[in-house]
Amino acid sequence: MKFTKLIMFLLMVTLPFVSCNDNCSDVDAPDSASLFISCIDEVSGENVFENETFSGDQIVVTDEDDELVSFSFIETKNFIHITFPAGLVEGKIITVKLENTETSDVREIEIHLDVVSQEEECYTLYKVDNVVFPNNESELIDGIYEVKI
């Protein structure tokens, strides 16, 4: 009898601290896939935005149909953050164009990738997969693709 009273007591004490989340309304999941790119001068090894070869307003990102692709330039880190709308896309090709009109320096980075979905308990996670830079050397470092141009 003492044993059942002890179990009941433990249940009453621990039950308020147990949390179940059958409601997925408070999930904070990303709504799109994204890709981070740092552009490195292949000769000097410097970031082309840090050495002012290019600036953030000299970037254009397009897809294979010449439609603009959403991106932002992260000035404090000197890299490009490209976002893709939710949905499964295989074999996507995008182009990042850097164009300095003052120096007539133009560089293009072609990127082949897939946007894949992964079903989680309360949401669908979209992520970029199979990233290839066919015309540039690249390396993935801490989630950022360093691309030599």
Each domain of the chain, given as residue ranges in start order, spans 30-148
How do residues 91-114 score in pLDDT, each as one tens digit?
899 999 999 999 999 999 999 999
88 versus 60: the higher-pLDDT residue is 60
Cα 124 to the chain's mean position, in Å? 15
Q: Are 37 and 147 within 8 A, CB to CB?
A: yes
| Amino acid at residue number 11 | L
Q: Give the global pTM.
A: 0.78
Contact criterion met (CB below 8 Å) for 123 and 27: yes
More confident residue, 2 or 15: 2
CA distances from 29 to 71, 73, 95, 118, 123 (A): 19, 22, 27, 12, 7
The pLDDT score that the predictor gives to residue 27 is: 65
Measured between alpha carbons, how far is 63 from 84 in angstroms, rounded to an integer?
A: 11
